[in-house]
Amino acid sequence: MSRPLLTLTGTELTFGATPLLTGADLIVREGERIGLVGRNGSGKSSFLKIAAGLIEADTGERFIHPGATVRYLPQEPDLTGYDSVIAYVRAGLAPGDEDYRADYLVEQLGLDPDAAPATLSGGEARRAALARTLAPQPDILLLDEPTNHLDLPAIEWLEEELASHRGALVLISHDRRFLENLTRAVVWIDRGTTRRLEKGFAHFEAWRDTVFEEEAAERHKLARQIAREEDWMRYGVTARRKRNVRRVGELQDMKSALKTWRGPQGAAQLAVSEAERSGKLVIEARKVSKAYGERPIVTDLSIKIARGDRIALVGPNGAGKTTLVNLLTGALKPDSGEIRLGANLEIASLDQRRAALKPDWTVAEAIAPGGGERIEVAGQVKHVAAYMKDFLFQPEQARTPVHALSGGERARLMLARALALPSNLLVLDEPTNDLDLETLDLLEELIGDYAGTAILVSHDRDFIDRTATATIVWESDGVWQVYAGGYSDMVAQRGSGVRARTGAVPPVAPDKPKSVQPRQKPAQAARMTFKDKHALKTLPGEIEALEQRLAKLAEDLADPDLYARDPAKVDTLGREHARLEAEKAEKEDRWLELEEQRESLEGR
């Protein structure tokens, strides 16, 4: 077994009067991949900060192997004191580290190296912190929600980057697919203590449920034993004469254990207020186009959305997903084309920026904007405090201002507002941000059971797979394509995931950093990776398949009667032909590059 690099034992931490950690342990060995999981508020981030040496536990021991290097990614990085992004990233390098890693990561994460930190958005600041954390290639990476504010191409790129990292990794994330792809062990923080599973996250939830079932059985067994002992105390023959002091003491101990037993933290109770049924046709878009200046956002999009559909919109940051949602829901007028909304539509929206929450509102004011102590949800009148409890807020938090809430609490509060509104069309823009896995489960069930229609914008692949009946994917500026099913279905039909926009993060990292030196010619390449060899082998077949599809499309377009019969089909086939031509050219360029690299290596 590899040597331990970092050890935490007996960690205890209390905030105010509330114990957060009551005996948490962590061992990180060389090269391990650990997922750190637990409910919102269970202490994951605090435990990771203790591991990083940023805060001290009340009690417990922390051991770091001499010479081991640790880097920590915070949820809210501080870039003050630096003149530029690249200066901030390079400041994270250790003596002896080369600057090229910093330059490479800044470019890969789509950042302007000369930008002033004060001008960065929250997402850009987060990506800068990610570059600073990854640049030194430390022995231990401690990452707190690294996928926040990243789009799908960036998330898939980050998976490749972390998979190739030789050091150990401890990861907090709400992204199931990300956890499944990267972890080989799970540490679960539950009610102040930790449990460890020596398997990846894919096995965690079944194991967790088994633990809860065994605990419930033990509690039931203890309650029955107490009942038997109390019966003996009252009616036992010996008890009538002289009570057994030892058994009386044991009974009191059992009662104390039952009284102080802490069950699993309650799950959020999600219910949606449904309005009257909408018409069968919810939204119809006909040749809709929208552009900002010279840049097209949507071009000639036609789509019908029927009652009960769950439509996911996916694409890189900046592709125009929010603009497309606003067009489809009538909040924004198209430059050309027509949007027709169905009858009796009642729309409830969740904004990814949580902009509908004013910082000075209290939790109670956010949930019941009109004031009062009661609110109607899903046909039932509830007290505001009871509805707060459904979303894991305590009664004493009713007067807590929004700005004092954590990211997870703000996410739950925004859900509480959106789901309380009567609706038959749910529009959820990045609803998974900051939600724990259990609340995500409930949200997925709610969307599945919802009688209305849902439009979902998300970068969470697992969430899309579990909820969507169709996926609208960004193909290039202005071009959107509809695929049946969720994200995995789309990838299977399309042959690839979501592509990055030009100048943004590519889905797969190149072997060499482009920011420091130009891309090496094949004659200078040091090696071919397994992925390169696989691509060299499979690309000719993919190119041949594309040629066959292009030939069929050309044959269809050559039909002189097609335009008269179905002009819309001519337009669709033409756009598909152009897309496949571009894809074929890209694959041919890649094959030629790899073939030259292979010949160069064999000629050495």
pLDDT of 352 higher than 90: no
pLDDT tens-digit readout, 255-272: 566 555 555 555 555 556
pLDDT value of position 371: 65
Q: For 348, which DSSP code?
A: E
User: 300: phi > 0 → left, psi -120 to 50 → alpha, else beta; which?
Assistant: left
Q: How far apart are CA 166 and CA 50, in angstroms?
A: 23
- pLDDT band, residue 250 (cuts 50/70/90): low
Query: How far does the chain reach from its first CA to its final CA, in angstroms?
Result: 40
Say which range, 136-145, 223-232, 403-412, 518-527, has the weakest mean pLDDT: 518-527
Q: Classify the C-alpha dihedral 65-71-72-78 as positive or negative.
A: positive
Among 24-28, 356-360, 529-533, top mean pLDDT goes to 24-28
Please say whether the beta carbons of 89 and 130 come within 8 A: no
Task: Name the burial class of residue 415, with classes exposed (0-12), middle (13-18) and buried (19+) by CB atoms within 10 angstroms of its CB.
Answer: buried
Place of tokens 């957060």: 20
- pLDDT band, residue 240 (cuts 50/70/90): very low
Of residues 478 and 317, more confidence is placed in 478
pLDDT value of position 519: 32
- pLDDT band, residue 1 (cuts 50/70/90): low
Share of the chain above pLDDT 70, in %: 81
pLDDT value of position 283: 93
Residue 122 has, within 13 A of its CA and on its CB side, a CA count of 9
pLDDT tens-digit readout, 543-583: 888 888 888 877 777 776 766 677 677 667 777 877 887 78
pLDDT tens-digit readout, 277-297: 777 889 999 999 999 988 999
pLDDT tens-digit readout, 31-68: 999 999 998 778 899 999 999 999 999 999 999 999 99
The candidate with the shortest Cα–Cα distance to 80, out of 116, 121, 110, 126, is 116
CA angle 87, 92, 95 (to 5 degrees): 105
The candidate with the shortest Cα–Cα distance to 159, out of 142, 141, 146, 148, is 146
Please say whether the beta carbons of 169 and 162 come within 8 A: yes
pLDDT value of position 207: 92
pLDDT of 123 higher than 90: no
Say which range, 40-49, 236-245, 344-353, has the weakest mean pLDDT: 236-245
Q: What domains are defined for the chain?
A: 4-205 (3.40.50.300), 281-494 (3.40.50.300), 522-602 (1.10.287)
- pLDDT band, residue 249 (cuts 50/70/90): low
Give Cα separations from 578 to 98, 157, 331, 367, 525 (angstroms): 43, 27, 31, 49, 33
pLDDT tens-digit readout, 423-435: 889 898 888 877 7
pLDDT value of position 370: 65
The candidate with the shortest Cα–Cα distance to 315, out of 469, 477, 159, 174, is 477
pLDDT value of position 512: 35
Amino acid identity of residue 553, one-letter, is L
pLDDT value of position 258: 52
pLDDT of 120 higher than 70: yes
What is the pTM assigned to this prediction? 0.69
pLDDT of 216 higher than 80: no
Strands (E), 262-352: 281-292, 295-306, 310-314, 336-341, 347-350
Please say whether the beta carbons of 415 and 443 come within 8 A: yes
pLDDT of 224 higher than 90: no
- pLDDT band, residue 241 (cuts 50/70/90): very low
pLDDT value of position 229: 63
pLDDT value of position 447: 86
Of residues 601 and 400, more confidence is placed in 400
Q: How far apart are CA 590 and CA 586, in angstroms?
A: 6
pLDDT value of position 566: 75
Q: What is the mean predicted confidence (pLDDT) over 473-501?
A: 89
Q: What is the mean predicted confidence (pLDDT) over 313-328?
A: 91
CA angle 121, 171, 459 (to 5 degrees): 50
Q: What is the mean predicted confidence (pLDDT) over 211-218?
A: 81
pLDDT of 368 higher than 90: no
Q: What is the mean predicted confidence (pLDDT) over 238-261?
A: 55
Q: How far apart are CA 531 and CA 590, in angstroms?
A: 12
Of residues 336 and 596, more confidence is placed in 336
pLDDT tens-digit readout, 453-470: 999 999 999 999 999 999
Please say whether the beta carbons of 133 and 73 come within 8 A: yes
pLDDT value of position 201: 94
Of residues 581 and 490, more confidence is placed in 490
Of residues 195 and 99, more confidence is placed in 195
Mean of per-residue pLDDT scores for the chain = 81
> In sequence order, which residues have a C-beta less than 8 Å from that of residue 149 and are 6 or more positions away?
122, 123, 126, 127
